[in-house]
């Protein structure tokens, strides 16, 4: 039996516990939704005030030079690059994940057209976050060159689906619904053995699991900064391109920030000869500046220490759920194997949506994903072992007392 006292002992021995103090979390709330929107770093308010009051309010347009606004996408990219195994100047922060997918997909297809224009298949997972599929479909319709999207139903299907007709594979490193974690190096090797290129969506893995894009011989990667990286709602996304591909194409969204000499105001577009060519237009400086507050906390530790705590917390959540909540129609759909588990736990329940709403009413904030999935995000920077214990006790009460059956918990909001 796992006890509250045992969880308190683990907290007392936790070398990462002090990092929680750098976040501003509401009293009485256990936040298990950092995989959708990360918590606010305390330093973010001070940073926002500096950008708005001093850099914008006092220094005005001089801040493009004085405050380094012009170089912010690359400077932030280099900080994030330290979390994902990137070299200097391989990563930028810019635009949204969806737009960045469009850009790197265009890059990968263009490269493949030059290598072998008979490759017309793009592979993705049916269980990808839907925007990835939508962007692929939109891109194929736009270029109208006979490309087809092939959706696979499980990671194992990639082995039998990929062939000499495959141009590009798009995969989520961690599946947003189930929490399944791909073996990045092994998957890259499989895709490259068929002379295809691979785009990694890191939205549910960056800041959650160790990533080494260069050592795993990856091609392209995109991802959010507002989830585990705690960059703030709608914060700009990241984009990484291996050095070998940075100048292999001119991206279709050829805005002036990606120009080789943007202030020459030339009539024709000449792309920058580095990662800046993946930039488009003027960057959202205020929201972009806040990303640094979250990333700086990560740089006080390392991803391997965070991964150890993440696995301990997800192990604990699974064990306590099975210990405390047996007989209540909960089904674990997240892999038990550490090698294939991200940093959230997903449980199916016939009334999953209502269960999540009842938990929120108790101050335990998780989220719901169709169909019937209760998704509980584990963020080691600001979650404790006692938090997990208490969350499961609340879940037990919601199920035992059938609190989820109350009518107000079945009313759907615009965002679910």
Reported as a single tens digit per residue, the pLDDT across 70-126 is 999 999 999 999 999 999 999 999 999 999 999 999 999 999 999 999 999 999 999
304 is in an annotated binding site: no
Which pLDDT score, from 0 to 100, does residue 416 have? 80
130 is in an annotated binding site: yes
Spans in the chain with pLDDT lower than 50: none
Q: In sequence order, what are the beta bridge partners of 75?
A: none
Torsion of CA 180, 186, 191, 192, to 10 degrees: 150
Tokens 């997903």 sit on residue: 346
129 is in an annotated binding site: yes
Q: In residues, how long is the chain?
A: 416
Which pLDDT score, from 0 to 100, does residue 208 have? 97
**Residue-range domains of the chain with CATH:** 4-42+302-410 (3.90.1150.10), 70-298 (3.40.640.10)
Which pLDDT score, from 0 to 100, does residue 248 have? 87
227 belongs to the catalytic site: yes
At 397-414, the pLDDT tens digits run 999 999 999 999 999 988
Measured between alpha carbons, how far is 88 from 79 in angstroms, rounded to an integer?
9
382 is in an annotated binding site: no
Tokens 């380094």 sit on residue: 68
* Best CA proximity match to 133, nearest among 199, 35, 191, 184: 199
- The burial class, CB within 10 Å (0-12 / 13-18 / 19+), for 148 is exposed
List 103, 277, 362, 375, catalytic entry = 375
201 belongs to the catalytic site: yes
Which pLDDT score, from 0 to 100, does residue 339 have? 98
* Best CA proximity match to 229, nearest among 240, 220, 237, 218: 237
362 belongs to the catalytic site: no
User: Which positions ≥6 away from 219 have C-beta within 8 Å?
Assistant: 108, 188, 197, 198, 199, 241, 242, 245
Spell 12-38 as b/e; 16+ CB within 10 A means b. Answer: eebebbebbebbeeeeeebbbbbbbbb
Instruction: Answer for the pair 212, 188: CB distance below 8 angstroms, yes or no.
Output: no
The fraction of the chain above a pLDDT of 90, given in percent, is: 98
List 23, 129, 139, 409, catalytic entry = 129
């Amino acid at each position: 039996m796992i006890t509250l006292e045992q969880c308190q002992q683990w907290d007392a021995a936790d070398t990462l516990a002090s990092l929680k103090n750098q976040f501003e979390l509401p009293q009485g709330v256990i936040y298990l939704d950092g995989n959708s929107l990360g918590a606010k770093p305390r330093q973010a308010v001070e940073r926002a005030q500096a950008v708005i009051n001093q850099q914008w309010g006092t220094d005005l347009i001089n801040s493009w030079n004085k405050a380094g606004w012009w170089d912010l996408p690359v400077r932030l990219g280099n900080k994030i690059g330290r979390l994902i195994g990137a070299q200097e100047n391989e990563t930028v922060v810019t635009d949204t994940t969806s737009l960045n997918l469009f850009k790197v997909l265009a890059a990968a297809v263009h490269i493949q057209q030059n290598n072998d224009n008979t490759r017309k298949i793009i592979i993705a997972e049916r269980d990808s976050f839907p925007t990835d599929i939508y962007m692929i479909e939109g891109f194929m319709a736009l270029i109208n060159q006979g490309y087809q999207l092939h959706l696979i139903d499980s990671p194992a299907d990639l082995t039998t689906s990929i062939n000499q007709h495959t141009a590009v594979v798009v995969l989520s490193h961690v599946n947003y619904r189930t929490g399944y974690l791909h073996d990045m190096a092994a998957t890259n090797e499989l895709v490259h053995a068929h002379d295809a290129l691979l785009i990694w969506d890191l939205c549910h893995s960056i800041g959650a699991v160790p990533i080494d894009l260069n050592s795993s011989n990856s091609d392209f990667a995109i991802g959010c900064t507002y989830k585990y990286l705690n960059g703030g709602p709608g914060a700009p996304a990241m984009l990484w391109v291996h050095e070998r591909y940075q100048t292999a194409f001119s991206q279709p969204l050829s805005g002036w920030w990606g120009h080789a000499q943007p202030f020459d105001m030339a009539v024709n577009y000449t792309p920058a000869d580095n990662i800046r060519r993946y930039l488009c237009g003027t960057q959202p400086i205020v929201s972009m500046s806040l990303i640094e507050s979250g990333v700086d906390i990560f740089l006080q530790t390392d991803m391997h220490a965070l991964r150890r705590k993440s696995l301990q917390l997800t192990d604990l959540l699974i064990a306590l759920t099975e210990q405390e909540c047996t007989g209540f129609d909960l089904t674990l759909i997240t892999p038990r194997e550490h090698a294939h588990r991200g940093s959230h736990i997903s449980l199916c329940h016939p009334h999953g949506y209502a269960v999540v709403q009842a938990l929120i009413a108790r101050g335990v904030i998780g989220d719901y994903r169709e169909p019937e999935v209760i998704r509980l995000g584990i963020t080691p920077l600001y979650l404790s072992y006692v938090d997990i214990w208490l969350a499961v006790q609340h879940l037990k009460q919601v199920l035992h007392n059938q609190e989820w059956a109350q009518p107000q918990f079945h009313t759907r909001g615009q965002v679910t």
